[in-house]
Amino acid sequence: MSDNYITICTVKEVENPKELSEKILKWLQSNETIETELSYCIFSMSNKGYKPGNKHIDVIGSNENILRLKVCGVEIKTEREVFNAGAFTAMTKLECPNCITDRFEGITPQDFFTDNCTEEQLNRFDTVFPEFDKWTNNENASLICPHCLKESNLINYKTDNSIAFSNFGFTFWNWPDLKEEFLMELKAKIGTDIVRMNGHI
């Protein structure tokens, strides 16, 4: 069985991810959106999350019974990572800050998904992942643009919000779509721009 997720994270790093997570957790727990105790309820078997609370239905607006699922919790992330990197493909926008050209320009979905890319095209794609790892590990991460040949910091590349370079986020495992008003409130509590990514594993 596959699991769906909604990941919400800040578009950029925040200064105090741990403090912020405590504040948001308290808010979610006082509204009974999530439980107060950690338990094994997320996709990862080695990490714990928070199960939906008694009033979680208030934020999803439907009474789909997610509590019947083993994986139904909320996972909190407060470390640097490329959010949603698992969904990264050559169809993801990664625009050079110097020449404003997409790194993957000219690669068609058909060629990419049927393994018909040229070696040069594949190289453009494969070279990104080591830089993702470097960034996650607080090392210098940069890419040389294949179009203008200029080297730029990874985080200066513009993306289409299907990935984010951040250090603060939540993943709601198998929750249906969250209400817009909840997302607005969440954004206000976090105090900075957030991005929502839907996906499945």
Contact 107, 115 (CB under 8 A): no
Number of chain residues interacting with Zn ion (CB under 5 A) = 6
Contact 172, 179 (CB under 8 A): no
Judged by CB under 5 A, does residue 99 bind Zn ion?
yes
- Site mask for Zn ion (CB under 5 A), range 122-151, x = bound: -----------------------x-xx---
- Site mask for Zn ion (CB under 5 A), range 41-80, x = bound: ----------------------------------------
Residue with tokens 């990572």: 81
Under 8 Å CB-to-CB from 177, ≥6 apart: which residues? 6, 60, 198
Among 14, 72, 96, 194, binds Zn ion (CB under 5 A): 96
In the complex, what is the shortest distance from the CB of residue 132 to Zn ion, in angstroms, rounded to a whole number? 19
In the complex, what is the shortest distance from the CB of residue 95 to Zn ion, in angstroms, rounded to a whole number? 8
Amino acid in position 80: R
What are the respective helix, strand and coil percentages of the chain, to the nearest 5? 30, 25, 45
- Site mask for Zn ion (CB under 5 A), range 3-22, x = bound: --------------------
